[in-house]
Chains A and B, each alone.
Chain A
Amino acid sequence: MEKLKYALFTGCTAKESTPEQMMSTLAVANKLGIELVELTEASCCGASHLQDYDDFLSLVLNARNIAYAEKHGLTMVTICNTCQLNTAMTKHRLDHNAELKTKVNEKLAEVGLEYKGTSQITHFLYAIIDDFGLDKIKEMVVKPLSQFNIAPFYGCHNIRPSELQNETHKNPENPYMPTSLDDLIIACGGVNVNYEEKNKCCGFHAELQAPRTAAVLTGNAVAGAMDANADWMVTPCPLCHLKLDTQTHHASVAIGREVSLPVLHMQQMVGLALGCTPDELGLKHHVTKVNFI
């Protein structure tokens, strides 16, 4: 197989509150022989909030990020569900609206850039599944996670709206019955746990504005996984990770029940199965202790 190569849009959390997400991404890419060219020029995607304030500005900034991936002639790979949604949504809107694209490009021209629409955008989870292949992962597993019940937590912005998301997936994901993360758990030798909240919202985006709502949703998610006998949870989204890993105290108070489970980034789970060390995967950067390694 030709060596896979992508333009990596890290997003902000990878540089700040989830350093372990960056570490494990690089460790896994290295194991799989995937080359990642980091888009160091990229700005924040606006995390679904900037567009509430200034939609056009949000489009221009995201189009600029994509333009850098285009300059490399590479597919952009994201490691944050919200980065994925914001960037893919920008691409969709510009590719389907010539007038808007012209307006955005007028701005980008001021800094010598152009959005062409030539790069695809995909989340690392789907890059692994669609381009690398689960069968190959299976073959490479050296430490199967067979003793663990693992609860997948998909995160809204990778699965909804499915019409947009499925523009880039090889196998369409059904948001009411998603399978990608379950399949990855199985490929890593783990036992995938089914529970109602796996495709629901963690509440992250309203944490400051609507703290009770956000805390209840987090609480429900962790409680659902616990009731399904999960040993730990796994998510492809660093924002879900932050919420599930650091906010369990508020969540427990909000739902009136003590909830807490270790939560791994999707990359950390794959890394463990491929034989990366806990240090390489940054497991010590979690607030809820990863107590099973």
Chain B
Amino acid sequence: MDTIKTQQVTFKVFRFNEETDYLPYYNTYVLDVTHEEVVLDILNRIKWDHDGSLSYRRSCRHGICGVCAIKANGKGILACKTRLFDLVETFGNEITIEPLSTKRAIKDLIIDKKDFWDKHAQVKPYLVSDIEEHPEQEHLVSPHDAEKLLEADYCIQCGACHYSCPALAVNEEYIGPAAFAAAYRFSADVRDDASIERLHIVNEEAQGVWDCVKCMECAQVCPKEVNPIEKITKLHNMVFEAGIAKDNVATRHAVGFAHSIAKHGLLDEGELVRYSEGNIGVLKHVPVAMKMFAKGKIVLPWNMPKADKLDEIKKLIKSSSTVKF
């Protein structure tokens, strides 16, 4: 039999009761933990042995239901899937346990996830299809078509990505990584008829995919390897492919790279800003641009460097482009 390894860990656990507390506080517990224990085991031990009032969500205990997501030292985790020893290896022997969002805490580690579900609902996370009530045969989905969903189908709606997303933390309108992954999942489904409708939703300014800061937090944190940012890139692509990209600063910013590379091989930074913002919008950047110019940070158009073998780059852009704007 394997010997059981143990070590002492200090847990600082977030406590807050919306009904009675004005401010949250932290309780500290020092426990011996074994190499087999996951965070949920510790929460259970605290609740059963120390303080029966500690509240948290748990159900499947198998990384399937998604309700036990919390943060440990700021990292979004499934409590039932994360071994203590792994956390200690990363963060050392003091572990701070908090809800996914301290702002949305109702009781201890339990949060009000309404914003998460609202964002989901916004993208119509279900198949929209005119089906015959008595079909003569099944509607088969070929393996090839099923593969198009990528990992988007693995999402267990735990919210770890949603509450780690910095774009969402600043801009409440932003739809967020989990709901985008769902939007992709259903829009990529061959049986679905609402793809264009969904693409319009994710293409809106402020709420849509364009507000993503590309921090890769969602890809990093997801316990199911859904890789939401990859699905967000797909949605960008689908917006262009469907021909519904609006002519605005965000779309021009993406397209501007292709223009610039075709001309210089490199990115013409100044021209990208001008092209994206338009001749009037660009004016708001003038004060910073002047300061940058004074420090030798702006290359004037006639001094714009070019990549060697530019003819190769031009040729490849011609032959390899797959979309038009």
Contacts and interface: CB of A to CB of B under 8 A. Distances in A.
A242 B171 CA distance: 23
A53 B296 contact: no
B254 A40 contact: no
Contact of B211 (A19, A213, A284): A213
Contacts of B85: none
B271 to A, nearest CB: 11
A162 B323 CA distance: 31
Given A17-B298, A285-B295, A44 B277 contact: no
Interface in B279-324: 287-288, 291-292, 295-299, 305, 307-309, 312-313, 315-317, 319-323
A49 B240 CA distance: 13
Contacts of B305: 15-16
A107 B269 CA distance: 27
A167 interface: no
A176 B257 contact: no
B315 A206 contact: no
A124 B321 CA distance: 31
B325 interface: yes
Given A16-B299, A213-B171, A246-B288, A43 B212 contact: no
B241 to A, nearest CB: 10
A174 B220 CA distance: 10
Given A41-B308, A208-B277, A287-B297, A53 B325 contact: yes
Interface in A192-239: 196, 200-201, 203-206, 208-210, 212-214, 216-217
Interface stretch (B31-39, B60-68, B101-109, B259-267): B259-267
A120 interface: no
B237 A52 contact: yes
B224 interface: no
Contact of B319 (A42, A110, A176, A284): A110
Contacts of B321: 54, 57
B316 A110 contact: yes
Given A44-B266, A47-B267, A177 B91 contact: yes
B148 interface: no
B217 interface: yes
Contacts of B219: 160-161
Given A12-B269, A52-B233, A217 B313 contact: no
B291 A246 contact: yes
A107 B273 contact: no
B246 interface: no
A286 B295 CA distance: 6
Contacts of B295: 284-287
B4 interface: no
Interface in A233-258: 246-247, 249-250
A203 B9 CA distance: 35
Contacts of A277: none
A90 to B, nearest CB: 13
A156 interface: yes
A64 interface: yes
Interface string B195-230: 000000000001000111111110110000001000
B215 A210 contact: no
Nearest to B211: A210
A151 B5 CA distance: 37
A273 interface: no
Most buried by B among A18, A113, A196, A217: A217
B296 A285 contact: yes
B273 A208 contact: yes
Interface in B50-108: 73-75, 90-91
B210 A15 contact: no
B288 A210 contact: no
Given A50-B261, A174-B90, A17 B254 contact: no
A82 B174 CA distance: 23
A212 B171 contact: yes
A74 interface: no
A49 B210 contact: no
Interface in A24-52: 40-44, 46-52
A21 to B, nearest CB: 11
Contact of B213 (A50, A162, A175, A206): A206
A61 B276 contact: no
Interface in B136-186: 166-167, 170-171, 174
A286 to B, nearest CB: 6
A180 to B, nearest CB: 15
Contact of B315 (A54, A110, A157, A162): A110
B231 interface: no
B86 to A, nearest CB: 10
B322 A56 contact: yes
A53 B166 contact: no
Nearest to A155: B215
A200 B277 CA distance: 27
Given A212-B171, A213-B211, A53 B269 contact: no
B75 A13 contact: no
B253 A208 contact: yes
A43 B269 contact: no
B249 to A, nearest CB: 5
B255 interface: yes
B323 A53 contact: yes
Pick the 5 closest A-B CB pairs, nearest first.
A160-B216, A201-B215, A52-B236, A111-B312, A209-B250
14 contacts: A16-B299, A42-B265, A46-B261, A50-B254, A50-B258, A52-B236, A52-B237, A54-B321, A201-B213, A208-B273, A209-B250, A210-B171, A213-B170, A286-B295
